[in-house]
Chains A and B, each alone.
Chain A
């Protein structure tokens, strides 16, 4: 896939509404503030890292389609627009076929829980405005409408690894000339339901929200996708460690990276003896599944701006399905 290059990046995170905000938070090396989230019917609160309010009103929120959307749609749209930059105008003018791959794990959980609560109370009064916003692909649909793109548009669901698989889907479309450019977005939103569910498996985890976006094109210059490994599924004995080791072996065949962006050190981590520079964004941002994976790739792409950095590897060990790796180089 090395003919596919990253032409833009975008991020909405607990650090703020831009890539610069995210990178500054990572460079400071301190975890972002945690806020308590109400857990209905219990006397404790759930710790989360929320996206702060934007510094200024976003003009695109005046679009009729976007007035009532859930936070996840706003995060995805803002990150996508930052990544797309001036090319947004080309899409609207019909001069650029833009594909969208939107990746989530929990998805539109705010409106889903709200709508189901309305159904339990009285299905006759459940809101017809809320239900369509519960559908996984609603944010991708809003974004397509805002940009005016009628090209292929997938919403891919999975654990944290779905975002990197989304990059592979986009690369395939570009190589087959189905689109001229493609946005790949990972997004999630905080909700007490998700945090309460996560508490059952990893009580120490602080969930976060936001989105990250990568804008890909066929080009000879820029940061290139050198390789995406096969996803290694968690099946069999010791599935997670075995999957991470398999991904590590595949990445190592490409050569040593200058820097590794991983999804967090774990017991038995095969990278623990690796001497190079290693960054685990989730320790600063919190865990946001597909959004956090997108932030990893955004940070990795930005790291390649330094002349001393020749290759970066991204390693995503998903929470319940698979591990996958990505290698980026300067084209």
Chain B
């Protein structure tokens, strides 16, 4: 689920062509904000049929609804059945923040009234949003919620990968979600991290990021288990690396030390060399500091083979999805591997000369076997995932 649409088909078409989905914010009043654009999701008026009651559905906030749409699509596509021991690993930065905002506003403006406040408290919490997903799809199991800022979605998939590889489980439902909220939108505005002129990742004249919202889930399963039930396999997750950048709370190390560490670790786990990676979906927020550091990290990681590595940032199309970014971008890698195409950063015109790699600014067909996605977050959370084309 992104501002390009709901579901694989709409998103694949949008990312393949490099379409942009930014517009003036309608989710809340952004009139007094420095930047007033975002990539908002237009959800269908009603939710897909699930086991949730109509009353339960009404209590879901914007983020939980996006999670539910992504969950239902993933569940149907996977062919999984309701079960009692399916781990769920989710990444998010702010859960049901819009409900938290409503709670605070009412607690101050109408302090004697508790009307709807218990519901807001309950559904604000991300474990409650996750439980709603479980109820909707008819499963239970251990729940892990990773809140590693903008790397959360990638960390959640990586953690699920670890759970399966270590033999602790055969299947995990994993991904990330985040909805637009006034607090977070104002936060990035306060940092002057948002672009007033449009997100242009790795552009020489880039001046900030654009915010978006969305959700993506992956049904991860051992190959043996998937083959036994004749599942359609969309791709293979082969590498995961995570590292911590201790340079600054919100700024990356200028040489991309932790990014280099996470990419190197992911390659080690995948047992591949950088030149085997046919495409990198960069974190590529469009901020001067992130893209410069990430470019340095990719240059160092790829070494002499850097010019062979094709890179783009799909945040040019749908913005920065925060806790959902890593999981949505993982799905984009799967789309690229299955379709053998590269999603462009179509807003970037003059590529920053620091980029020694092949930066993709126009739609392109490509032969690729491995795709890597980077996610870096506040607090120095860095994560890289590597997928392999399944054939």
Please tell me if the beta carbons of B142 and A231 are within 8 angstroms of each other in the complex.
yes
Does A274 sit at the interface, judged by CB under 8 A? no
Residues of B within 8 A of A230 (CB): 85, 142
A201 with B379: in contact, given A136-B93, A149-B244 (CB under 8 Å)? no
Question: Chain A at the B interface: mostly helix, strand, loop or mixed?
Answer: mixed
With beta carbons under 8 angstroms apart, the residue of B103, B111, B148, B191 that contacts A42 is B111
What's the Cα separation between A112 and B181 when bound, in Å?
13
Known contacts: A115-B187, A116-B101, A175-B166. The answer to whether A150 contacts B258 by CB under 8 A is yes
> What 1/0 mask marks residues of chain A from 114 to 156 whose CB sits below 8 Å from any chain B CB?
0111011011101110011111111011101100111111111
Which B residue sits closest to A147, measured CB to CB? B246
Chain A 54-68, CB-CB to B under 8 Å as 1, else 0, gives 000000000001000
Instruction: Select the stretch in B125-133, B207-215, B224-232, B273-281 that faces chain A.
Output: B125-133
Could you say which residues of chain A place their CB within 8 Å of the CB of B246? Answer: 141, 144-145, 148-150
Q: Taking the complex as formed, is B121 at the interface, i.e. its CB lies under 8 A from any CB of chain A?
A: yes
B301 to chain A, nearest CB (A): 16
Which residues from chain B contact A126 at a C-beta distance below 8 Å? 186-187, 189-190
- Is the CB–CB distance between A154 and B155 below 8 Å? yes
Q: Whole-angstrom distance between the alpha carbons of A193 and B93 in the complex?
A: 19
CB pair B32–A200 under 8 Å, yes or no, is: no
CB of A306 to closest CB in B, whole Å = 32
Q: How far is the CA of A233 from the CA of B143 in the complex (A)?
A: 8
| B17: interface (CB < 8 Å) | no
Among A28-36, A157-165, A217-225, the stretch that binds chain B is A157-165
Residue of B103, B147, B163, B378 touching A197 (CB-CB under 8 A): B103
Say yes or no: is A95 at the interface (Cβ < 8 Å to chain B): no
Residue B192 lies at the interface, judged by CB distance under 8 Å to chain A? yes
Is A24 engaged at the interface, CB distance under 8 Å to the other chain?
Answer: no
In chain B, what residue has the closest Cβ to A105?
B125
Other-chain contact of A128, B85, B135, B191 (Cβ < 8 Å): B191
B78 within 8 A of A: no
Complex interface: chain A residues within 8 A of B249 (CB): 65, 132-133, 138, 141-142, 145
User: Of A112, A124, A154, A233, which is within 8 A of B148 by CB?
Assistant: A154
Q: How far is the CA of A162 from the CA of B190 in the complex (A)?
A: 31
Question: B108: CB under 8 A from chain A?
Answer: yes
On chain B, which size bracket covers the interface? 35 or more
The answer to whether A196 has its CB under 8 Å from any CB of chain B is: yes
Please judge, given known A-B contacts A105-B125, A196-B107, A233-B134, whether A131 and B141 are in contact too, CB under 8 Å.
Answer: no
Q: Which residues of A contact B381 (CB under 8 A)?
A: 137, 141, 153
- B21 close to chain A: CB less than 8 A: no
**Shortest Cβ distance from residue A153 to the other chain B in the assembled complex, whole angstroms:** 4
Which partner residue on chain A sits nearest B110 by CB separation? Answer: A41
Known: A119-B186, A165-B142, A320-B125. A41 touches B111 (CB 8 A): yes
Q: How far is the CB of A64 from chain B (nearest CB, A)?
A: 10
Q: Is the CB–CB distance between B114 and A200 below 8 Å? A: yes
A165 touches B144 (CB 8 A): yes
A193 to B108, CA, bound (A): 10
What's the Cα separation between A32 and B355 when bound, in Å? 59
Q: Which of A41, A107, A132, A133 has the most CB of B within 10 A?
A: A132
Does B145 touch A at the CB level, under 8 Å? yes
Question: Does A3 sit within 8 A of B, measured CB to CB?
Answer: no
- A90 at interface by CB-CB < 8 Å: no
Contact B114 A321 (CB under 8 A): no
Closest A residue to B253 by CB, please name it.
Answer: A150
Which residues of the other chain, B, contact A107 by a CB distance below 8 angstroms?
147
How long is the Cα–Cα vector from A152 to B147 in the complex, in angstroms?
13
Most buried by B among A40, A105, A140: A140
A137 neighbours in B (Cβ, 8 Å): 147-149, 377-379, 381
Interface set of A (CB-CB < 8 Å, partner B) = 39-42, 65, 100, 105, 107, 112-113, 115-117, 119-120, 122-124, 126-128, 131-138, 140-142, 144-145, 148-159, 162, 165, 169, 172, 175-176, 193, 196-197, 200-201, 230-231, 233-235, 320-322
Q: What are 26 A-to-B residue pairs whose CB atoms are below 8 Å? A: A41-B111, A100-B244, A112-B100, A116-B183, A119-B182, A126-B190, A132-B378, A135-B93, A136-B93, A137-B148, A137-B378, A144-B246, A145-B246, A150-B245, A152-B244, A153-B244, A153-B380, A155-B146, A157-B145, A158-B144, A162-B145, A193-B104, A235-B134, A235-B140, A320-B127, A321-B143
The 3 closest A-B pairs by CB, nearest first: A141-B379, A136-B147, A131-B187
